[in-house]
Amino acid sequence: MKTNTLTPAQTATTQPKYYEVDGALKANANRAWVLAFLTVPIALLAIGFAIFVRMQPPTVIRIGSNGEAVVLGKASKGAAGDAASAGADEFLDEAFVKRFLSGYLNYSAADVDERWAGSLNMMTRNLRANTIKAMGDDNTRGKIDDGQIESVFHLREINPVSGEPLTYLVYGVKDVHHLSKGTETTDHFVNEYRVRLIADRRSDVNPDGLWIAEYSERPIDGERRDQILSAPDAVPGSDDPGNKGGQ
């Protein structure tokens, strides 16, 4: 029976060289290191994305009275602006307050309806309803016609209230001219006006995105009254002595 046997020379040629085995091990190790280094930026990217997602505010959806769903903090389709931008500009907020007071406190018997209509439309619904009711109970409109009352408002100061967003204290003089038994009389009212705004979505109906949410006035006495009475108007050209009012 014939058997196959290998000679020592043949055995040496069939076994890999020691340096070939060592090279293969080093190649495999190098590939492992390359793979490990490639996973590092991927892991850092995943961690950064997880942190970014956690920092995002939650999505809040408001359902309006008409059934319209609006994502708060994002501009709705067809809206003129973003609710987050309304009430964020102090200059525009003060201008809104001044425009309201100018229309509400400057009037005569001939134009009081037009001026008050514009000012009332700047109020929230509940404040507008309460104001109209108070006017009706006091017969304010009838008194204006009976006395041919004319009111001229002179704004002296406007200051934001610290710690109360969109709230302002306004100081001014209201000169009220009226007829009594054929004689004209002028009364000077020095008042503090408190006006609080509320921000809303900007729209075609309310492009400012603001409403008058609170309005009140109270008289001022003492030295503070004299100071406001003698101060110039807080409007362009206030250095003109003829623009002081209440003199």
- pTM for the structure as a whole: 0.61
- Which residues are CB-contacts of 197 (< 8 A; sequence separation ≥ 6)? 87, 93, 96, 97, 166, 167, 168, 210, 211, 212, 213
Q: Are 70 and 82 in contact (CB under 8 A)?
A: no
| Rounded-to-integer distance, Cα 152 and Cα 101, Å | 11
pLDDT given at position 201: 86
| Rounded-to-integer distance, Cα 188 and Cα 174, Å | 6
**The two three-digit tokens of residue 185, written as one number:** 């009389």
pLDDT tens for each residue of 162-208: 999 999 999 999 999 988 888 889 999 999 999 999 999 888 888 88
Residue with tokens 């961690």: 47
pLDDT given at position 164: 92
Total H helices, total E strands in the chain: 7, 6
pLDDT classification of 82: cutoffs 50, 70, 90: very low
Q: Are 245 and 233 in contact (CB under 8 A)?
A: yes
Read off the pLDDT of each residue in 59-79 and give the average, rounded to a whole number: 62
Helical pair 90-105 and 112-120, crossing angle rounded to 10 deg: 150
